[in-house]
Structure formats: structure tokens, C-alpha cells
């Protein structure tokens, strides 16, 4: 899973002027024109491809709606809690596994192979344990983000320059001081990368759980739009969701200086 | 004799952590069994591991797990073939036309970080509640890594290999098939491996969410019947299948990687 982090390196390519911008504009315009043509062609069921104006109206209506922000807040809170619990657990477990070769060999394979399994199938268990309300969504978010964060932190621990560790030891730093003064600063990049991956997984886990069984949150709104066959609204919500997800992902990477390391 | 002990020692160092890991997992399961049997954990929330093991038989005999597995595998394979063909072709195209690469590579990378699986209600409307929706979900989720890794692999072809091609006066097509593509193959497979993993996750996830198809649907089915042991056993089966799939892909990747 860690490779997905490396994939993001491609995001640093391309200036914003000249032929590239022109080609981008042409592609966007082409897609929009094709979309509008399909919407009016009558070849597809009505509303499967709504006209651009309908989507734009739905987008404006969505962004002006108080209910949307309430649900966005609910989902953001669930993802935040999931990330906090899963991230803290992942950080501790990752540091322990990264610091101890024996424990790493004994337990990391389990985490490594459990990492890329579908987490949404644990929803029935989460519901049995935590009920149908918010806690089961947080549980799924927590469980989803725990694996990438743990593996990223453990790998980061092993990459710390041994000189730094010797410096800490020669100052007779205790375990807490070693963690706070040496380990965490030395592996801030793997931690931030793990957090970025973890955010993506927590987002998917939480939202999918909401689409399956809930009465609030963005996932619930999406599935309600599906149930009422309100396609323009569904498109509008997916657009906003994708913009937010890609934005937060890029922001975490940017704040952590990940782009700078990749370019160097 | 000394040689034998010297080789035994590293072997023991390799085996000991694995034994401890396995023993911990077994001990945890036994402890759970004990706590559930004495009533410290509610057995209507967590079924005893012994019942879950028993439920495997029920899943195999009554729930036709093998047929479900084949259905999920077929959906995954179809998505896999589609994403390999489309992903590699798009990657090659983007490498061939640099302007296109510069315009679109960022978009593909952004697509890789978007929660594409959330589009499943949209796909339900477009394709209906059938296997096509599941296959398409697997396909789009797995596409970005294949495209990006294909570009990366071809771009990273060592210059000396390209020069060998030039010195043999190969034309563009020959240069691609004889030099660039074989050199990029290990990296392309890294992309295909990631793509297939995402495809499997999304195929099973979508089956679970839309309650249709193979292994994912079995979990929904058993959970809705409140067959607790069966639900846990079905989840274990899905995990096992994913892990074996993941291991197999890793082995193929290692086999493809050239020895430097």
C-alpha cells in the first residue's frame, strides 16, 4: 500500500502555462461538450446524464443548504475521530514494531497482509459491537486507517539514521525523550505520508459505512439522493466530495513538505 | 558439525518470531473462547472461535462458497484484464505524447487519491444492479496506479538499453516492443499488482454494499440473517482469499523483477 504514496510524486509535474494549459482546457471543454450532447441526445435514460446546467444548479443549491454543512460536519467529525484513534494507535504500534526487530518479525507480517483487505466487510461486526449510530462509523474509520499508518511509521523507524539514535543514547535520553526528541522529528515525513494514506482509507471506510446504514453524514445524503433518484444532486455531492478529498490529501502532503522531498 | 550449528542458528532466528507471532494469535483466540464461554464477553456479540470454525463447514456446504469464490474471482479477473489493457495503453499513449502526459498525469494522480468507490450509487444507476457495476467499480479503482507505473517504467528505461536499440537501427515500433516495454515490465507489474489489489477490495466491497454477487454478498446475507458465527467465518474467508491473492501477486512480481 505504501506505493500509493509514491504515486503521488507524479502530482508535481507540469507548469501551468502554454500548450499544457491549452490542451487541458481543450480536454475539459471536449468532455463537457460530449456530456451536454449525451444529456440532450435521449440515448440514455433521462437523468442518468443530467445537463450541465442541472448539475450546476444542484451544486449551488447544495452549497447554500444548511443541512449539507451539518452532515459534512458529522462526517468530518467521524473521520477526525477515526484518524485520531487509529492514528495514535498506529503511531504507538508502529514505533514499537519499528524499534524491535523481533516483534516486527513476529507481528508485522499479519499487519502487512491484513492491510490491503477490504475493510467495509467488517461493518456488520462494527454494528454489533458499537451500534448503528456514529460509533460504528468511527470504528470502521479507525480500523481502516490503522494499518497504513502503523506500517508507514514502522518503516520510518527503521530508516532513522543510526547516528541520530546514538546521539540520543549518548545524551542518556530516556524512552520518552528518545520518542519525542529523536524518533518523531526524524521520521516526520513517513508519519505525514502515513497520515495522508490513513486519511484516504478513513474517509472511504467512514463514508461507505454511512451509505450502508446511517441517518446522517455525507454517505447518507449520497444514498438518499440515489433512493430518490435525484441524479443532479448526487453528481453535485460527488464533485464536492472529490474536490474536498483531493484537496485535503494535497494539503497534508504540502504541509508535511512531501512535495519538496520528492523534487529534491 | 560447526557448520551445521552455524546454519541452524540463523534458521532458528528466522523461525522464533514466526512461532511467537502465531502463538500470540492462537493464545488470543483461546482467551476469547474462554471469556465467551464463562460469559465475560456476550456470545451474541462475539461468537466463540470454536463456533466460527464450525461455521466454516456450513459456509462450504450450504452457502456454496466455492461457486461464490469463482464469481468474485471472475469479476476481479475481468476488471483486472480491463484495467491492465486500458491502463498500460493509456500509460504508453501518455509517454508517447509528452504534452498529453504533462496535461493529464496530475489528474490521474489526483484520481488515485479520490474516494472513487463512493461512486457506486452512480454506477448502480448507470449500469444497474448487476455484475457490470461491480466490475466497473473494480476497474476504475485500479486504473490510476497502472497508468502511473506504466509511465514511470517506460520513462526509467536505462539509456544504455535505448542506445542499443538505436545502434541496431530499430524503428519506433521495434524500439517499443524490443526495448522499452520489456525494460518497463517489472515496474508495470507493480502498477498491475496495486491495481488488482484495489480491484479486489472494491469488487468485494461493492458486492457487500449492493448485496449482489459472490463473497461480499455472502457476508451481507449472513449478517442480515443474524447468523453471527457464519458472518465471522465469511469475513475470515474473504480475508484469507485477499491475503492469498496478495501473496501470489507478490511472488509473481519477485519472479518478474530482474536480478541486478
A3 interaction partners in chain B (CB closer than 8 Å)? 145, 190, 194
Give the Cα separation of A165 and B115 in Å (integer): 38
145-174 of A, contacting B, C-beta below 8 A: none
What would the pLDDT profile of A45-81 be if each residue is shown by its tens digit?
A: 777 888 888 999 999 999 999 899 999 999 999 999 9
Kindly determine whether residue B113 and residue A235, on different chains, have CB atoms separated by under 8 Å.
Answer: no
What would the pLDDT profile of B50-83 be if each residue is shown by its tens digit?
A: 999 999 888 888 888 889 999 999 999 999 999 9
Which has the closest alpha carbon to B127: B139, B136, B119?
A: B136
Domain boundaries, chain B: 1-46, 49-256
At residue A19 the predicted structure's pLDDT band, cuts being 50, 70 and 90, is confident
Quick one: closest CA in B to A130, which residue? B45
- Chain length of chain A: 264
Checking if the pLDDT of A9 tops 60, the result is no
Residue to mutate among B114, B227, B234, with most A CBs inside 10 A, is: B114
Which has the closest alpha carbon to A256: A180, A190, A175, A165?
A: A190
Quick one: closest CA in A to B201, which residue? A118
Domain boundaries, chain A: 60-258
Q: Which of B20, B102, B120 sits opposite A13 (nearest CB)?
A: B102
B228 interaction partners in chain A (CB closer than 8 Å)? 128
Long-range contacts of B60-67 (CB under 8 A, 24+ apart): B63/B218, B63/B221, B63/B222, B63/B230, B63/B234, B65/B215, B65/B218, B65/B237
Checking if the pLDDT of A264 tops 80, the result is no
- Of B6 and A42, the one with more pLDDT: A42
The residues, ordered by sequence, that sit 6+ positions from B12 with a Cβ below 8 Å of its Cβ are none
Instruction: Check if A13 contacts B (Cβ < 8 Å).
Output: yes
ipTM associated with this complex: 0.85
Residue to mutate among A10, A228, A233, with most B CBs inside 10 A, is: A10
CA B5, B7, B13 angle in degrees (round to 5)? 95
The pLDDT value given to residue A56: 93
Instruction: Check if A228 contacts B (Cβ < 8 Å).
Output: no
Angle between helices A19-41 and A52-63 (to 10 degrees): 100
The pLDDT value given to residue B9: 57
Kindly determine whether residue A3 and residue B190, on different chains, have CB atoms separated by under 8 Å.
Answer: yes
The pLDDT value given to residue A7: 46
- Chain length of chain B: 260
Q: Which of A3, A48, A106 sits opposite B18 (nearest CB)?
A: A106
The pLDDT value given to residue B76: 93
The pLDDT value given to residue B93: 92
What would the pLDDT profile of B131-148 be if each residue is shown by its tens digit?
A: 999 999 999 999 999 999
Cβ distance A121 to A205 under 8 Å? no
Cβ distance B163 to B223 under 8 Å? no
Checking if the pLDDT of A144 tops 80, the result is yes
The pLDDT value given to residue B91: 93
Q: Which H or E element spans position A194?
A: helix A188-212
Which has the closest alpha carbon to A241: A85, A115, A68?
A: A68
CATH (residue range A60-258)? 1.10.3720.10
Give the Cα separation of A54 and A39 in Å (integer): 10
The residues, ordered by sequence, that sit 6+ positions from A188 with a Cβ below 8 Å of its Cβ are A256
For the entire predicted model, the pTM comes to 0.85
176-205 of A, contacting B, C-beta below 8 A: 200, 203-204
At residue B259 the predicted structure's pLDDT band, cuts being 50, 70 and 90, is low
Checking if the pLDDT of A83 tops 90, the result is yes
Instruction: Check if A261 contacts B (Cβ < 8 Å).
Output: no
A220-235 mean pLDDT: 91
Q: Which of B105, B113, B117 sits opposite A14 (nearest CB)?
A: B105
Q: Fold for domain B49-256?
A: MetI-like fold (1.10.3720)
The residues, ordered by sequence, that sit 6+ positions from B202 with a Cβ below 8 Å of its Cβ are A118, B116, B117, B137, B138, B141, B142
Kindly determine whether residue A107 and residue B209, on different chains, have CB atoms separated by under 8 Å.
Answer: no
Amino acid at each position: 500500500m505504501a506505493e500509493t504514496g509514491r504515486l503521488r510524486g507524479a502530482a508535481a509535474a507540469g507548469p501551468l502555462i502554454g500548450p499544457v494549459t491549452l490542451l487541458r482546457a481543450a480536454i475539459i471543454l471536449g468532455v463537457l461538450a460530449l456530456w451536454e450532447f449525451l444529456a440532450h441526445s435521449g440515448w440514455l435514460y433521462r437523468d442518468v446524464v443530467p445537463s450541465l446546467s442541472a448539475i450546476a444548479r444542484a451544486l449551488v443549491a447544495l452549497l447554500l443548504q444548511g443541512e449539507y454543512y451539518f452532515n459534512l460536519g458529522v462526517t468530518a467529525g467521524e473521520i477526525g475521530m477515526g484518524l485520531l484513534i487509529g492514528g495514535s494507535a498506529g503511531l504507538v504500534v508502529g514505533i514499537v514494531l519499528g524499534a524491535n526487530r523481533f516483534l516486527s518479525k513476529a507481528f508485522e507480517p499479519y499487519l502487512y497482509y491484513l492491510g490491503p483487505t477490504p475493510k467495509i466487510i467488517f461493518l456488520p461486526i462494527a454494528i454489533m459491537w458499537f451500534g448503528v449510530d456514529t460509533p460504528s462509523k468511527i470504528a470502521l474509520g479507525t480500523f481502516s486507517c490503522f494499518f497504513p499508518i502503523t506500517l508507514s511509521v514502522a518503516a520510518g523507524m527503521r530508516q532513522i539514521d543510526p547516528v541520530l539514535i546514538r546521539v540520543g543514547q549518548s545524551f542518556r535520553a530516556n524512552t520518552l525523550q528518545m520518542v519525542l526528541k529523536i524518533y518523531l522529528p526524524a521520521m516526520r515525513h513517513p508519519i505525514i505520508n502515513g497520515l495522508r494514506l490513513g486519511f484516504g482509507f478513513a474517509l472511504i471506510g467512514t463514508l461507505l459505512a454511512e451509505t450502508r446504514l446511517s441517518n446522517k453524514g455525507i454517505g447518507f445524503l449520497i444514498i438518499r439522493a440515489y433512493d430518490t433518484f435525484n441524479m443532479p444532486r448526487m453528481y453535485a455531492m460527488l464533485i464536492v466530495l472529490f474536490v474536498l478529498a483531493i484537496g485535503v490529501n494535497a494539503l497534508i502532503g504540502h504541509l508535511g513538505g512531501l512535495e519538496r522531498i520528492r523534487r529534491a | 558439525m560447526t557448520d551445521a550449528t552455524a546454519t541452524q542458528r540463523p534458521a532458528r532466528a528466522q523461525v522464533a518470531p514466526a512461532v511467537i507471532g502465531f502463538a500470540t494469535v492462537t493464545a488470543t483466540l483461546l482467551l476469547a473462547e474462554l471469556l465467551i464461554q464463562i460469559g465475560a464477553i456476550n456470545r451474541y456479540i462475539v461468537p466463540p472461535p470454536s463456533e466460527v470454525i464450525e461455521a466454516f463447514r456450513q459456509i462450504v456446504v450450504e452457502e456454496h462458497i466455492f461457486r461464490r469464490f469463482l464469481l468474485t474471482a471472475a469479476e476481479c479477473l475481468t476488471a483486472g484484464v480491463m484495467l491492465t489493457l486500458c491502463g498500460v495503453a493509456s500509460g504508453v499513449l501518455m509517454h508517447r505524447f509528452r504534452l498529453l502526459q504533462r496535461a493529464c498525469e496530475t489528474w490521474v494522480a489526483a484520481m488515485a487519491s479520490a474516494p472513487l468507490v463512493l461512486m457506486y450509487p452512480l454506477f448502480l444507476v448507470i449500469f444497474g444492479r448487476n455484475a457490470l457495476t461491480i466490475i466497473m467499480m473494480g476497474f476504475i479503482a485500479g486504473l490510476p496506479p497502472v497508468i502511473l507505473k506504466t509511465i514511470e517504467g517506460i520513462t526509467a528505461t536505462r539509456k544504455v538499453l535505448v542506445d542499443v536499440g538505436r545502434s541496431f537501427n530499430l524503428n519506433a515500433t521495434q524500439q517499443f516492443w524490443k526495448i522499452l516495454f520489456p525494460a518497463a515490465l517489472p515496474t508495470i507489474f507493480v502498477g498491475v499488482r496495486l491495481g488488482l489489489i484495489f480491484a479486489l477490495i472494491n469488487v468485494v466491497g461493492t458486492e457487500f454494499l449492493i448485496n449482489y454477487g459472490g463473497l461480499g454478498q455472502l457476508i451481507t446475507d449472513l449478517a442480515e440473517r443474524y447468523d453471527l458465527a457464519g458472518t465471522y467465518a465469511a469475513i475470515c474467508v474473504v480475508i484469507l482469499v485477499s491475503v492469498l491473492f496478495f501473496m501470489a501477486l507478490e511472488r509473481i512480481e519477485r519472479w518478474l523483477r530482474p536480478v541486478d
